[in-house]
Amino acid sequence: MKRSDVVAEFQATMGGLLQTTEHLQALNATLKTRLAGASEQISRLQERLDRVQLDNMIDSVTGVGNRRLLETCLPRMIAKAEQSGEPLSLLLIDLDSFKEFNDRHGHVIGDDILRLAASALKQNSRQDDLVCRYGGDEFVVLLPRTSLEGAVLAGNKVRSAISARELRKRSTNESLGRLSVSIGAAQHKTGELAEALIDRADQWMYLAKEAGRGSAEEPSPAGDAPRQKRSIRSPRLVWQPAYECGEVLIDRQHRQMFDLVNELFPLPVAEDRDRRIMATIDKLMAHIAEHFRYEESVLQARGYAGTEEHRMIHAQLLGEARRLRQSLADGQDVLDDFRLFLCRTTVVEHMLGTDREFFSLFGR
């Protein structure tokens, strides 16, 4: 082959390669443009999906998280706390007398009250705290890296902030008074499920509401918080004249029961802590048994028709108290259950509830 022919063929080959390269470069640029456009579309679509997801987890009235967000985040926060060993606490906040406000002033005012409470919760929470509307007039605040003591401080801060705001009717600027809340606090225990944590906070909130107090917390298992002047209050039972039935000794025994129950709040801090707790419980149980016997004798002497039923209720209460006491003696972690049983079941539900059925015997 002549040299000129070789050169010509080489030039033709190089020209073809150049054209192919230019074509591939153009095709690559086109693909990049299309990929960029597709990526942008996917990004916009994902943003829309994220917004929809977020909208589904935001309460439309208050702008805080809803129950779905709480149920999504709480198990994750529990798992993270157990993995890290850091504390996790929860506040359950109930708006006192919200139904009366709603019924008297209408749903528009009711929604304003919910927004006011939500605003106070957000303004008094840290950046990584999670505020959610749990349902109706209840809110939950999740407090990562927070002990029970810190949760109680946060709860009192929230309670003060809400009660400091005066409610006013927007159309007339009429004062509607101030809002109060009942708060229950609980710190997560190792291995505890989300539902159980919420339930414990709910029980302390219920006790706060029944006792007519602004706030109640679960007593600290450590009990060694530094002493300082503050607004924290243990969930102490406060005797009121309205609790009296009119029979002098029954009323005295009821009041003594309040004092004995309060000895379990807060827990004593001492080397003989467990012994002192058991001694207090034994003294309390002896007092309850003596009181039940006296009360039954008075009701029988007065011819009360419900005496036998009342005696059966007393037997059930004593049986449960003995069961819990034995569990404590066996080393089981049921002190919280015992305290709730004493406060909620024995005092609030029975003494301030069932017992009122015989108050008419004494002119009440």
Number of C-beta neighbours around residue 138 at 10 A: 19
- Cα within 13 Å of Cα(243), Cβ side: 23
- How many residues comprise the chain? 364
Tell how strand 181-187 and strand 175-178 pair up: unpaired
| Nearest-angstrom CA–CA distance, 220 and 87 | 13
Q: Which two tokens stand for residue 38?
A: 């597709």
| Nearest-angstrom CA–CA distance, 260 and 39 | 69
The DSSP symbol for 182 reads E
C-beta separation of 54 from 63 below 8 A: no
Task: Tell me if residue 272 is catalytic.
Answer: no
Helices marked H in the chain: 3-55, 67-84, 98-105, 107-123, 148-163, 194-211, 248-262, 273-301, 307-329, 335-340
| Active-site hit among 94, 137, 202, 355 | 137
C-beta separation of 350 from 317 below 8 A: yes
Report, as residue numbers or ranges, the catalytic residues: 137
